[in-house]
Amino acid sequence: MRPLIATIDLTAIRHNYALAKRCAPGRRAFAVVKADAYGHGSAAVAAALREEADGFAVCSVEEARVVREQAPKARLLLLEGCFDAEDYAAAMELGLDVSVQGAEQAQRLLDCGPARALNVWLKLDSGMHRLGFEPAELQRWAERLRGAPQVAEVNLMSHFACADEHLHALTDHQLERCHGMQGFAFDQRSFANSAAVLTLAPAHMDWLRPGIMLYGASPFAERSAAELGLRPAMTLTAEVIAMHDVPAGDSVGYGATWVAQRPSRIGTVSCGYADGYPRHAPSGTPVVVRGQRVPLAGRVSMDMLAIDLTDLPEAAIGDAVELWGAQLPVDEVARASGTIGYELLTRVTQRVPRRYLG
């Protein structure tokens, strides 16, 4: 078997969910498991949280089916709502909570036969301008939906654009708009994503929506996951599969972008951009071998990457290489690559086997 594996620590995910709940005592929390639980495997994560989580949140009906098999009784929120009558039929079949983010979705719900009343979450566009109703339109639809046979609860939700940036003015503006929706007696409210769960108590409301924090990555550029008390859930590990002595002046990899400044020992590692490691990771991006950080050397290939082992003379073929995880935060690799931890975790491809612990 090709030596590359993503080891998922389910105990860490349970710890991180419990931390989210401790941030807002008395509130409930949808564990966000969209995008295959941010690359960690939604079936396994839902099963691991089945006894702890108050509910789960997903992007699509297809994702909901996977989670419902593992958590038959949990509340399960469809974050982008239903896109056609078939989606609404599936939502009724599966007993989903559904986001309604515009007049078209709201009308489509009213046009459905009331096979099962749904908990509806009307999405307020509080300032992100991605999805949602303006306040006056939302209140009109709330009044129309209240009492409709297709509707059980009428709830309110919104999403913050800049909660990960300390004291950003837009966050205050969005909070004001959210709290300004007091003219209608919504059954439940949910505003807080991971960043807001961790730092914005006025946004906590009835339901939290922790996402990236569940997987042990930080939503903040300036605060590490470890500082926040989060535990990394995924460790991506490959091996050194070849070694070469490279004379000073010779290059390594496609494009000859890395040139040895001294006689160098170069290791070839069994991971590349087809596995989800970022192709744009520059030379110097760290990996961990034998407990020591060593740098990438040259461009990442489809199936392999190269590392400079010159300062680790004891390194050998077969050594484990941690690309990120317990010893090297995914957020650090992301920063070196000019992206965010969310992208790296969700891009780990299906050809990388997952091994679950805990």
- CA dihedral of residues 36, 90, 99, 56 (deg, nearest 10): -40
Is 130 labelled a binding residue? Answer: yes
Determine whether 123 is an active site residue: no
Among the options 34, 123, 215, 277, which is catalytic?
34
- Is there a contact between 46 and 56 (Cβ–Cβ < 8 Å)? yes
Q: Please, where are the H alpha helices in the chain?
A: 10-23, 34-38, 42-49, 61-70, 85-94, 103-111, 135-145, 169-179, 194-199, 330-336, 341-346
Is 92 labelled a binding residue? Answer: no
Among the options 38, 88, 123, 254, which is catalytic?
254
Partners of residue 58 on adjacent β-strands: 78
Q: Which residue pairs, CB below 8 angstroms and at least 24 apart, start in 19-22?
A: 19/213, 19/228, 19/229, 19/230, 20/194, 20/197, 20/208, 20/210, 20/213, 20/214, 21/208
Provide DSSP, 47-76. HHHTTT-SEEEESSHHHHHHHHHH-TTSEE
CA distances from residue 203 to 122, 200, 213, 244, 355 in whole angstroms, order as listed: 16, 6, 16, 55, 36
Positions at the binding site for substrate: 130, 302
**Catalytic residue ranges:** 34, 254
